[in-house]
Amino acid sequence: MNRIYILYHGSFGELVTGHLANSGFADRIVCLYDLKVTSVSLDEPESDLPKDLPLCECDLLLVLGILPKAGDLIPIIAERTGAKSVLWPIEDPNLIPEGKYSIEEELAKKNIHIEFPEPLCSLETSENAEIKSFVEAFGKPEFELRVNEKKKVIEEVKVIRDTPCGSASKVAAKLVGMSYENLKSFEEQVMQMHDNECVAYMGPERPIMQQAGRLLADALKDAIP
């Protein structure tokens, strides 16, 4: 995994940052900055760059939960930090950046790749080298299970690929001894465990938390021998 600069704001960014650091990737995080900017000038966006913003050299710029009107700063920051790629997950539709398409166009002019996965744990691979390197460790959950086939009970769980927020490993720790004889009941229990850990948006028009829970439950069912 390459050098990562994390721009964040709010609980989701804190959760992902903490999990990456606690999972042995602290040395890959070259900079961490809480971008609290609430609005950016259309004419001179550079004037709204925080004075204390560190411009560390990085390969991947990870953008987590910043406010929608701060989005116009990302192409500037990406260029000044030498980022080759930007990974900007959508975990809350209220935080979708204003001018999303113009941001993409601006980055493309600078030959900087960007992806907006929704949610981040849906990302399985990428054609981009920097994002692919990240997703090898964190993204769409993947498990390996050892089971008692006669009793239909889980005996051991190995997390092959964790979710960026750590929900996969947290749920995995609770599965030993659980029966999967009734798959519907098993799935419902897993979904509930996931929802207790997930901080993604949940609303009738865009149930991102439910989507993330489904990804985790399906990954576990696929891992049952």
Query: DSSP assignment of 114-152, as one string?
Result: EE--SSGGG----SSHHHHHHHTTBSS-EEEEEEETTTT
- Residue 42 is predicted with a pLDDT of 83
Residues 127 and 148 reside in one and the same domain: no
Number of domains in the chain: 2
Which of these three, 112, 135, 158, is where a domain ends? 135
Answer with the one of 106, 135, 164 that is the final residue of a domain: 135
pLDDT band at 1 (very low <50, low <70, confident <90, very high): low
- Least trusted range by pLDDT, from 50-54, 124-128, 175-179, 202-206: 202-206
CATH number where 8 lies: 3.40.50.720
Tell me, yes or no, whether 98 and 181 share the same domain.
Answer: no
Q: How remote is the C-alpha of 195 from its chain's centroid?
A: 16
| Mean pLDDT value across the chain | 95
Provide mean pLDDT across the span 32-57: 92
Mark whether 129 and 148 lie in a shared domain: no
16 and 127 fall within a common domain: yes
One DSSP character per residue, 72-110 reads: GGHHHHHHHTT-SEEE---S-GGGPPTTHHHHHHHHHHT
Which residues constitute the domain of residue 169?
142-223
Q: Residue 35 in contact with residue 93, Cβ under 8 Å?
A: no
Residues 122-135: tens digit of each pLDDT: 999 999 999 999 99
CATH of the domain at 157: 3.90.1010
| CA distances to 29, 68, 147, 210 from 176, in Å | 33, 41, 9, 23
pLDDT above 90 as % of the chain: 92
Last-in-domain residue among 79, 106, 135: 135
Mean pLDDT over 181-210 rounds to 94
Return d(Cα 15, Cα 118) in angstroms, integer. 17
Based on the domain organization, do 32 and 98 belong to the same domain? yes
Residue 39 binned pLDDT confidence (cut-offs 50, 70, 90): confident
